[in-house]
Structure 1
Amino acid sequence: MALSGGLWFLTAGISVLWWSHSVCVAADDGILKCDELRLGQYVCKVPEINPATQEPVKCANYTAFAPCQPAPNIFCKNYEGIVKNFTGEEIGFYRPFPCRNVNGYSYKVAVALSLFLGWLGADRFYLGYPALGMLKFCTVGFCGIGSLIDFILISMQIVGPSDGSSYIIDYYGARLVHLTINNETFRESQLYP
């Protein structure tokens, strides 16, 4: 009797494995998700730029999304999970890309204030640093040296607004991207001749 119970358990186990394998094979039908397409198999639209902030519309949590259209006669699963044959006009997925948080501080205004009125501390008052602005005002810009240093720091976008936001800079303008190195950064060794 124990043998037939063990045989039943073995048969049930094999049946469960076969069923789970067939379900997994049916779920993985070999059709890619649209966001896994290769470059050239889709076209993403240029994001709409807000003229006041010079950042993409609907920028939230430092991320915005652009609609992407798979090329004609491409089969893939769209963002709803539906397999479609695309004609090149339908949206297949939304590609995330980074955007910045801005609160109304203009880069051009900050540089101009630093260049022309930096010795009075106007640049630091504008960026939200009233104590440093008052110190520069009382010491006439640290005798000119502090104004020069502040001008360099502001023009290189090292010193920014006090609330942690970014400057408003033209979207297609000259922006500096600060590169950082952390524990996740891969350093490639160079071969010397």
Structure 2
Amino acid sequence: MELYRSFFIIILLILTTKICLSLDCIPGAGEVLVEDCGASLLPAQYLCTQLDIDPDTQQLVNCTKEGRGLTRCEAAPGILCTPFCNSTFLKEVECLWTNGYSFDTALLLSVFLGMFGIDRFYLGYPAIGCLKFATLGFFFIGHLVDVILISTQTLGPADNSSYIIPYFGPVLRKVLVGENTYRKEEGDWYTDKHSWSNPAE
């Protein structure tokens, strides 16, 4: 009976706290109250300028394997966020999950010891590393290919994590083109520039 009573008291406290917070949050003149700022605000209505970057991984402190992390953002003037009735809120943003593989180390290993497969061992590909070691980097052709693949960040760690690169460093991102990508129509460059190509005109 005592357990039910304490459970009931806790639920009652939570409900009264929520009711008090919602009653206290009354927007002033020219202010708008938004229920969930993290999900409903448009990009021009907030700024996320205070990124909490981990110095070891060079990504957000709470970055997950799914490539998402929380960061503190501030809404534009005149927008209040519930339940705390202020303009700051947490928003889920994209980040790159890292697992300790440094881009600089992988590239240096590939350039200087790639013919022995050390770069592939470092990135977690032991089978290809053994083949490169046995064939002297596939007779130096595989060595050259791996230097190009690692320097363009096409070849990454085997666990599908990202390299540790400075947050504002030379990270290459893939831009995918799909059905929703706008393509600007352009005329035929050869016939437009050379009027002599069509003598009838």
Tell me the equivalent position of 1:78. Answer: 81
Q: 1:104 to 1:157 in 2, by over 3 A?
A: same
Give the match for residue 152 of structure 1: 148
Q: SS state of the match for residue 147, structure 1?
A: helix
Work out the CA distance in 2 between the residues paired with 1:190 and 1:154: 35
Structure 2 unaligned spans of 5+? 1-30, 193-201
User: What is the correspondence of 1:82-97 to structure 2 with a 5 Å cutoff?
Assistant: 84=85, 90-97=86-93
1:99-114 aligned at under 5 Å gives the runs 99-114=95-110
Structure 1 runs (4+) greater than 4 angstroms displaced: none
Q: What is the aligned partner in structure 2 of residue 187 from structure 1?
A: 182
Which residue of structure 1 aligns with residue 11 of structure 2?
A: none
**Structure 2 CA distance for aligned equivalents of residues 38 and 120 of structure 1:** 48
Q: C-alpha separation between the residues in 2 aligned to 1:37 and 1:130?
A: 46
- The corresponding residue for 1:3 is none
CA distance in 2, matches of 1:151, 1:59: 28
- The DSSP-based 3-state class of the residue aligned with 2:106 is helix
Match of 2:53 in 1: 49
RMSD: 2.4
Matched residue type, 1:187 = Y
Of 57, 62, 81, the residue aligned with 1:58 is: 62
Query: 2: distance between equivalents of 1:91 and 1:104?
Result: 36
Q: TM-score by structure 1 length? A: 0.69
Q: Given that residues 45 and 66 in structure 1 are in contact (C-alpha distance below 8 angstroms), is that contact kept between their aligned partners in structure 2?
A: no
2:184 is paired with a residue whose SS is coil
Decide whether the 8 Å contact of 1:47 with 1:57 is kept in 2.
Answer: no
Match for residue 166 of structure 1?
162
Cα distance, 1:178 vs. partner? 1.1
Check conservation: 2:157, 2:163, Cα contact below 8 A. Answer: yes
Instruction: Give 1:62 deviation, angstroms.
Output: 1.3
Matched, 1:143 2:139: yes
**Rg (Cα) greater in structure:** 1
Shift of 1:37: 6.1
Contact 1:42 1:70 in 2 (8 A): yes
